[in-house]
Structures are given as structure tokens and as C-alpha cells.
Amino acid sequence: MRAVRPEGTRVQVGGVEVGGPGFVVMAGPCAVEGAEQLESAARAVAQAGAHLLRGGVFKPRTSPYAFQGMGEPGLKLLVDAGRRHGLPIISEVMETEQLPLMAEHADILQVGARNMQNFGLLRALGRLRKPVLLKRGLSATVQEWLSAAEYILAGGNEQVLLCERGIRTFETSMRNTLDLAAVAWAKERTHLPVIVDPSHATGIPSLITPMSLAAAACGADGLLIEVHPRPEQALCDGQQAMSPGDFATLMQRLPGVLAAV
């Protein structure tokens, strides 16, 4: 990063610090689907010890006929659920036009993999003074990912979190290929916090726990995980959603790994 500084960037989100000594877990459904679904998910992740609640209200779907997210009413549900459970919220912004609404209500603005090089959106985010989580693009090199982050930093917004969510390779057994070496690399050579999303990286619920523990072991600053109260009924990414029970077990196992590194 151009603005090299010896100490790492620490980003404050509500009462949570990302990039400091603590390990931050953001969890919740891929998409906000309704009040009851979100409340069950929020209650489960809060009880298990998550630090932030995730939930998409604008969804970047491959097909235009797939569920596109609840939009503004979904955002209101997310804000209310976050408040009820004392969790700051993270949600994806897909278009510059959505920024005023999202920036007013979300604590972290997520830029999805498909928008990593949407330079107009990145420039607009650079003009804000709000935390942004920038996902690595579907086929982006580490340098392209960092250059995309630089667009936000260059505008004066220093609250940038990198997120490794797997990249597309020749391997098809998993949804993507989780590049944990890139996480260690980015931790070594940039000052930005790095978050790992094992849900989109693998697409397979049983792999989320081992990859989360590995992410903690290799120096990541936190995780972004999809949890759904009833994965089989999810309107989006249900096949990769973790059950609340498995998420709680993962949360119990993380401290052991973090203490060992």
C-alpha cells in the first residue's frame, strides 16, 4: 500500500476493533429473508459469541431471476436485529446509488467479489469515512486486490478491511480455492486487516470449521461466515450455510487455535 505505516491499521466498528489483538467474527445469513429468519440467525450468532451480524439486502445473483434481496425493508430488519442483540452490522453495497442508504445504516460496507474493480463505487467509498470490507475478486491477483483497496485509501478513507473469499482456479471440487497464503502475504506486506470468508471460499459447510481454524492460525484478523437457522430453506447460498449448532462449536474451538499461534 502506498501509505505504508509500521503499525497495522485498526478499524473501529461500534465497540469492536478489527486489526487489533482481538479476532473478530462476523456471521449471519447470506441474505436477509424476513423478520423471523433474521431474528433466529441473529440470536444464534450473538449467543455463540459473534461480534458482528452479517446479512445481504442487495444480492449480486448470477441469474436475474434469482432472489435479489429484500432491499431497504431488509436493511431495516438488519438494523433492528443488530440493535436487539448488540451487534454492529455488515451488508453489501452493489451500486453507488445505494451508498447514501447503506452508509447511513450499515456499520461496515461490504464490496462483493464481483464489484472489486468497480472503480466508480470504490472512488465513492473513498470519499466516505466508514469501514469498507473489500472482497477479493473472483479471479483477481493479490496485486489487483490491493490496487482496488488503494482506490478507497487514495480518497482518504483509511478504514479498509481486505477479505479473502476464495478465487476461481482449475479446481472444481469446491466452490472456489481458498488462498490462505495470500492472507499471510497480505498480513506481512500491507498494514490492512485481513478477514477470511470460508463460506464462499469452499461452498461446503463441513469445510468451514477447518478453514476457519486455519485462517486463525495463519494470521487472519477475523472471519465472515454464513449461518442460517434452516439452511435447506435458504433463498440464497443455503448449500453452504452453517447450522447454528456447528457455528457455536466453531466459536468454542477458535480460542484454542488463537492461543497456540
The residues of the shown chain that bind Mn ion, judged by CB under 5 A, are: 30, 237
Which of residues 28, 56, 69, 88 is near ligand PEP by CB under 6 A?
A: 56
Nearer to ligand PEP, 11 or 113 (CB): 113
Q: Which residue's C-beta sits nearest to ligand PEP? A: 112
165 touching ligand PEP, by CB under 6 A: yes
Q: Is 4 left (phi over 0), alpha (psi -120 to 50) or beta?
A: beta
Instruction: Centre a 10 Å sphere on the Cβ of residue 158 and count the other Cβ atoms it contains.
Output: 17
The CA distance from 1 to 190, in Å, is 6
What's the min distance (Å) between Cβ of 211 and ligand PEP?
Answer: 14
With CB under 5 to 8 Å by kind, the binding choice for 60 among ligand PEP, Mn ion, none is ligand PEP
Q: Tell me the site size for ligand PEP, rule CB under 6 A.
A: 10
Instruction: Report residue 227 as a C-alpha cell.
Output: 449461518
Q: Produce one character per residue of 112-146: b if its CB has 16 or more CB atoms within 10 Å, e if not.
A: bbebbebeebbebbbebebbbbbbbbeebebeebb
Under 8 Å between Cβ of 37 and 229: yes
Nearer to ligand PEP, 30 or 146 (CB): 30
Under 8 Å between Cβ of 91 and 76: no
Q: Which amino acid is at 156?
A: G
30 touching ligand PEP, by CB under 6 A: yes
Alpha helices in the chain (DSSP H): 35-48, 72-85, 99-105, 119-126, 142-154, 180-189, 198-202, 205-217, 244-260
200 touching ligand PEP, by CB under 6 A: yes
What's the min distance (Å) between Cβ of 54 and Mn ion?
Answer: 9
60 touching ligand PEP, by CB under 6 A: yes
What's the min distance (Å) between Cβ of 111 and ligand PEP?
Answer: 8
Residues 77-116 that bind ligand PEP (CB under 6 A): 112-114
CA dihedral 187, 151, 203, 24 (to 10 degrees): 50
Nearer to ligand PEP, 8 or 67 (CB): 67
135 touching ligand PEP, by CB under 6 A: yes
What's the min distance (Å) between Cβ of 5 and ligand PEP?
Answer: 28
Nearer to ligand PEP, 30 or 124 (CB): 30
Binding site for ligand PEP (CB under 6 A): 30, 56, 60, 112-114, 135, 165, 197, 200
